[in-house]
Amino acid sequence: MTTAGEAELREPSAWPENLARFAHILRHLGMRVSTAETMDGLRALQYVSLLDREQVRLALRAVMVKNRAERPIFDRVFDLYFAAPEEKAGRREQWRAERERRARELEEAEADLLSSVEASGQSWAERSRERLRLTEEQKQAWARLPEEEKRRLRELLARAQANPVNNPADLINRIIEGSLNFWHHHLMKQEQRREGGGARVAELTGDAEVDEVITQVAAQLDRDADESLLYRDMKEIGEGELARMSVLVRRLARQLVSRISRRYYRSHKRRVVDVRRTIRQNINYGGALFELRYRSRRITRPRLVLICDVSASMAPYARFVLQFVYGLAAVVRDIESFVFSEDLERITSYFGRGKGFAGTMARVMAESKQWGRATNLYRALVTFWAGYRHLLTRSTWVLVVSDTRTLAAEKAAAELGRMRGLVREIIWLNTLPKREWREHGTPVLFQKHCRMFECYTLAHLEKVLRTHIAWT
């Protein structure tokens, strides 16, 4: 029988380190594996045969996997991490060769671009060459850039003239960096559309062996149909995939509701001794504690106010966010929903019990006067303040869904600050990738008054709702 990880788990002294590394990989791929669960896994291995690979897999899966969505991640990591030594050695050699090939490609791309700058022949070329510091993404963009685009950029450099007022070296560097940033983003989007999925962003650790497993598992999951939808930008979902996406939204919402409901159930059952009431009850017994009195934690379900941007750039996100939030109705006391673009509209009344979500959304989109227009969050918040201020209480969580690009952004931020003092928390779901926030000044304005998270995929949405809202 093949061992589970061969030498890795044969000796008891190797268990703690290897299980810790195994759990580390799972966390970097989005699974929630605590230190306590890692210790439980260590104890579980004491009751199975380490010579039976399947027993080890099932024992660890029992304590580390919490739902069906995590099972394929766990199994793929297990197969790669606890592999035979010769298989690991072969994979590691391929990984090293691939890294070296990519490094050489980036070095050649950087040298090619710098030689293009130098070949322009202008007086500023040498200064520009010395100051130009390219990121890895910019080098990748140049390496993959079509020859026609490279030729155009070289022609631009050749036409540039020294300017006695401004610093031409810095100006040309900004042009080069801006062009490469644009093309990196554009090429990534093209690749995602061509492969029919979105890339799962897996944070690497710097440990070559661990990163090798993380990268390979992330690539495998991107090829899985449902997994690719989880990590696809919601605005990229095609008409033919809407039905499958809606099923996935409902499934994730049900899983979250189930998890939260179990938390409520446990909280009601957990009782602690009420010392004051116990002492008063037992005064007649001379202080002997014959009868105990208990108190239990009071459960207060949160109120949600959803303010969702449905302007032209945001409308594709609204459908899935609304469906997910309304899937949580069983564990939320009240849900009040508003959409806005040029102004604000309340749509709560559309979502009555027993109404199908698809038909309801079609009606909302058909009757709304805001769907697909320009964005003016300031006017929307003024309207909210005038007509719906009574919804803002200390138990209310406000969810704002928008890419922050709006008219009168500074005034809108001031209105948001006024709202912040009346509610428990404001959570902003920003559909712009976090790497792009610096390119826009608006996220900084609004972050002063709320907690902001990137949220352009279904995986982002589920994680924010699960981890950043206090459901009790």
pLDDT, tens digit, 9 for 90 and up, residues 184-201? 555 555 555 444 444 445
Do the domain assignments include residue 103? Answer: yes
- Report the C-alpha gap between 250 and 328 in whole angstroms: 10
User: Where a domain ends, among 195, 226, 244?
Assistant: 195
- Convert the pLDDT of each residue in 199-256 to its tens digit: 445 566 666 677 777 777 776 665 554 566 777 888 878 777 777 788 888 888 877 7
Q: Which amino acid is at 44?
A: A
Shared domain for 322 and 447, answered yes or no, is: yes
Shared domain for 191 and 305, answered yes or no, is: no
Q: Measured on CA atoms in the order 388, 389, 390, 396, is the torsion positive or negative?
A: positive
Q: Tell me the CA end-to-end span of the chain in Å, nearest whole number.
A: 48
| pTM value > 0.85 | no
Domain containing 441 — which CATH number? 3.40.50.410
Determine how β-strand 303-309 pairs with β-strand 294-296: unpaired
**Tokens 């990748």 -> residue:** 140
Do the domain assignments include residue 2? Answer: no
Q: Which pLDDT belongs to residue 455?
A: 93
User: Where a domain ends, among 155, 175, 195?
Assistant: 195
Shared domain for 444 and 313, answered yes or no, is: yes
Do the domain assignments include residue 386? Answer: yes
Do the domain assignments include residue 117? Answer: yes
Shared domain for 444 and 317, answered yes or no, is: yes
How many separate domains does the chain show? 2
Determine how β-strand 334-340 pairs with β-strand 271-273: unpaired
- Convert the pLDDT of each residue in 31-81 to its tens digit: 888 888 889 988 888 888 888 889 999 999 999 998 777 888 899 889 888
Whether 20 and 70 have beta carbons less than 8 Å apart is answered as no
Q: Which amino acid is at 10?
A: R
Shared domain for 185 and 325, answered yes or no, is: no
CB atoms within 10 A of CB 166: 9
Residue-number span of the structural domain to which 366 is assigned: 301-467
Sheet containing 396-402: give its strands across.
344-346, 334-340, 303-309, 396-402, 425-430, 451-454
- Report H helices in 122-205: 125-131, 136-144, 147-159, 168-195
Residues in the chain: 472
Do the domain assignments include residue 7? Answer: no
CA dihedral 367, 372, 376, 381 (to 10 degrees): 40
Do the domain assignments include residue 144? Answer: yes
Q: Measured on CA atoms in the order 412, 413, 414, 419, is the torsion positive or negative?
A: positive
Do the domain assignments include residue 6? Answer: no
Whether 20 and 210 have beta carbons less than 8 Å apart is answered as no
Q: Residue 359 pLDDT more than 90?
A: no
Q: Measured on CA atoms in the order 156, 162, 164, 170, is the torsion positive or negative?
A: positive
Do the domain assignments include residue 213? Answer: no
Shared domain for 317 and 450, answered yes or no, is: yes
